Structure 1
Amino acid sequence: MSDTAKQPVAYVRDTMLEQKPAPLSQIGAVRWIKENLFSGWFNSILTLVSIFVIYKILAGTLPWMLGGVWSAGSLSECRDILNAKFGNTHYACWAVLTERWNQLLYGFYPSTEYWRANLAFFLMLLAIAPILFDALPRKLLWISAAFPFLMVWLVWGGTIWGPVGIAVGFVIGALAMKVLVRFGDVLALIGAVVAAIVWWMFIGPSVVDALDASLPIGHLKEVESRELGGFMICVIIGIAGIALSLPIGVVLALGRQSDLFIVKVICVGFIEFIRGVPLITLLFTASLILNYFLPPNTNFDLTIRVIIMVTMFSSAYMAEVIRGGLAALPKGQYEAADALGLDYWKAQRLIIMPQALKISIPGIVNTFIGLFKDTTLVMFIGIFDMLGLSNAIRANSAWNGVYWELFIFIGLVFWASCFAMSQYSQWLERKLRTDHH
């Protein structure tokens, strides 16, 4: 027997080692901090400098914010309270929000009718929920369809027949399209628009007036548009502009790529003209010039005029965003639609447009956020939004000198709204992802 065979086996394990947790430096918060904040000497210096800057900012702002006064009748009274408590006035006077929050949110809307504005806001959330989340019951879409008419009735008041008359116009248009579709899609669309306009302009007003006089159902106290304001008017204009600009933008984008020369020229001219004009110019047009083109003794509500101009402005930008999505779509998708024998509208509805809209989600939401923030420009044409009301509050001798408190509150309200839209768009992008990266 050789010497190698005589040597015993050094070690053979007959039991498993007991499982132990990973080192603390390789898991959890410690690992994240090491990889993201102190991964190298340069990142470590940037992290320390950033911590110092954040500390200095918070050290200056937190005492100012948390040590403020929430109950006072004027700025002078607020300063007296601060002097008695701290010996100086270097703290916030939040009392202006405690006293004027309802004005910032509702404008000059009658306080006894706040329930109508609150109900309209709740119905708005209920109406957009099934549109944004397909997991909700589809029956809720009936609330979505009825909400625009309910909102008009709740916010402006009057009887229920006015909004019903407007809704009947859409029903008549849909019926006309259903009847005329056998003669072609374009003719059916034109006939539907004509039928609805004839009802709204000539027949509907007389029918509504007769019903108002004989059967005033659901009469609410009428509120004029000049009494609307604050965050309420921003929501009304913003939601209306968002809801209307997306379908109009889709039509304009398709029209710009159309082979029909007249359609293409009209769409290109509209888009380029609107994009070349500042929104404030269109708002002044809505406020001052538009009345000159209307028949004598015509009362065209200012809020409706502003919604029309804001929608036109947003639609032009929306059309370019969607056109970018259409251009990014591979040519093979169009060829696949042709190979399946689909006509133009079916191809757009089933294959082309869903993919183009998915590609365009970031740009669409970016346009929506910009539109919602641009609603503050209405202050320049005499509509008191939140910024306009902040100026009105500061013009009062009791609160003359208050700045930061009002602007911080307004900024937080808009940030919360825009952040919610941004988070939804990111969630929708993740939900619609079809790649596996």
Structure 2
Amino acid sequence: MSDTHFVRNQMVEEQDPPAATTGVAGWLRENLFSSVSNSILTLLSLAFVYWLLAQALPWIVSPTWHAESLTECREIIAELGYGGACWGIIRERWLQFMFGFYPAELYWRVVLDFLLLAVALAPVLFTNLPRKMLYFSAIYPFLMPWLLWGGTIWNPIVVALGFVIGFYAQRLLKPSIGELAATIAAFVLPIIWWLFVAGPVADALASVLPLSIQAVESRNFGGYMLSITIGVVAIALSLPIGILLALGRQSDLLIVRSLSVGFIEFIRGVPLITLLFVASTLLNIFMPPGTDFDIILRVIIMVTLFASAYMAEVIRGGLAALPRGQYEAADALGLDFWMAQRLIIMPQALKISIPGIVSTFIGVFKDTTLVSIIGLLDPLGLSRAILADSAWNGIVWEIYGFIAVMFFIFCFSMSRYSMYLERKLQTGHR
């Protein structure tokens, strides 16, 4: 008896996977209904979400946008037969929440300023854009305050000249007096320029060629315009200052290390609200008589210093996480300290520190609400002024809910960008 063998002479056609394992059905089966217990929890969660939406949606979609007072809101809600929010206050005070008491005819300057902010940030946040856009990013920090505060255009120009003086001082003096002395000169000379020379030079240029726009006092600033201004400036300045403080804390020079450690530990040991009180009340005591030191500028300085101290510790953690071999590799290539930091050490340390850096940024932006305690009219400060209006006295949830949603949008956007940047810079194997 012989065995019969069968050998297939053609390939079996590829078949589609079972419908229950792919697409929406497969995702639901794997993530929500993979077992009896998961199925029960999914159904209970869906029931809770349905109950929550059934309670919240009627309140949120309340047709009270055109109400002129809380009394009118209550009349509209009474006709509906169920509770609802009074959104008329948001419609009526929308521009005030955005711009504070900034002159209405000059709103275009604020809108233009923040549109230019997006243009300036784009090449910094997204490296696939043309690198030539970075020239505008360098110009924008001097253009921004001029658009917001107004006045003569020579003020931001002479301030920018201070940075030019520092750059060329370091570059020209380095061969003759050494790198350390040239670096110190690059910091000292701009400060001397700003304190004693920039003001008279700007006044002289303004008298010869008066180029200016209408000036706006700081007391007219408010709303989200004020919060974004303080937050963006503090965030932009705290990162480079934090890098310098982190490097200073690891320096071999005793004076530099001691000053860095003392500054970081002192600032981190003091609440931000204390620094804001110092900025608003005590700082003028130590200034020469007759000095007019803008309150918003004082607040920006204090918030920046506060954020810089925390940023320095975040970056120091990134530096400590780098293997010693990276430093030795930089030395083996013959790189000096600053080149090694710029090309090898700092890019890796910043990559490691991205979550901590973004968390610090988010905290700084949320902490801008503390300026309401010293009398500045940020969204929270405005809310108290609005609630004092007899027409809207008694509304709470609508105002604070609106403020919370707006802050959530800004902070959530920063968080999403952080995750995008981490994925983009991911070079290791998973």
Same fold, TM-score > 0.5, yes or no: yes
Q: 1:196 aligned to 2:190?
A: yes
Q: 1:425 aligned to 2:418?
A: yes
Cα distance in 1 for partners of 2:393, 2:122 equals 41
- Using a 3 Å threshold, how does the CA distance of structure 1 residues 18 and 91 change in structure 2: closer, same or farther? same
Partner of 1:305: 298
Report the residue type matching 2:19 in the other structure.
L
Report the residue type matching 2:429 in the other structure.
H
Partner of 2:157: 164
Cα distance in 2 for partners of 1:20, 1:197 equals 74
Equivalences for residues 22-421 of structure 1 within 5 A: 22-84=17-79, 86-88=80-82, 90-182=83-175, 183-217=177-211, 219-421=212-414
Alignment gaps of 5+ in structure 2? none
Q: 3-state DSSP class of the match of 1:222?
A: coil
Q: How many residues align?
A: 429
Contact 2:102 2:222 in 1 (8 A): yes
Post-superposition shift, 1:14? 5.2
Share of identical aligned residues, percent? 59
Post-superposition shift, 1:46? 2.6
Cα distance in 2 for partners of 1:18, 1:268 equals 70
TM-score norm. by structure 1 comes to 0.95
Q: 3-state DSSP class of the match of 2:151?
A: coil
- Using a 3 Å threshold, how does the CA distance of structure 1 residues 8 and 256 change in structure 2: closer, same or farther? closer
**Could you report, residue by residue, the CA deviation over 1:171-210 in whole angstroms, capped at 9, with x for unpaired residues?**
1222222211212222112212222122212222112112
Post-superposition shift, 1:142? 1.5
Cα distance in 1 for partners of 2:14, 2:332 equals 59
Report the residue type matching 1:42 in the other structure.
S
What is the root-mean-square deviation in Å for CA atoms of aligned residues? 1.5
Cα distance in 1 for partners of 2:45, 2:158 equals 60
- Using a 3 Å threshold, how does the CA distance of structure 1 residues 68 and 99 change in structure 2: closer, same or farther? same
**Could you report, residue by residue, the CA deviation over 1:93-124 in whole angstroms, capped at 9, with x for unpaired residues?**
11111110100010110111000000000010
**Could you report, residue by residue, the CA deviation over 1:365-405 in whole angstroms, capped at 9, with x for unpaired residues?**
11001101110110000111011111111111111111111
TM-score norm. by structure 2 comes to 0.96
Post-superposition shift, 1:43? 2.6
Cα distance in 2 for partners of 1:177, 1:342 equals 18
Post-superposition shift, 1:214? 2.9
Report the residue type matching 1:141 in the other structure.
L
Cα distance in 2 for partners of 1:67, 1:21 equals 49
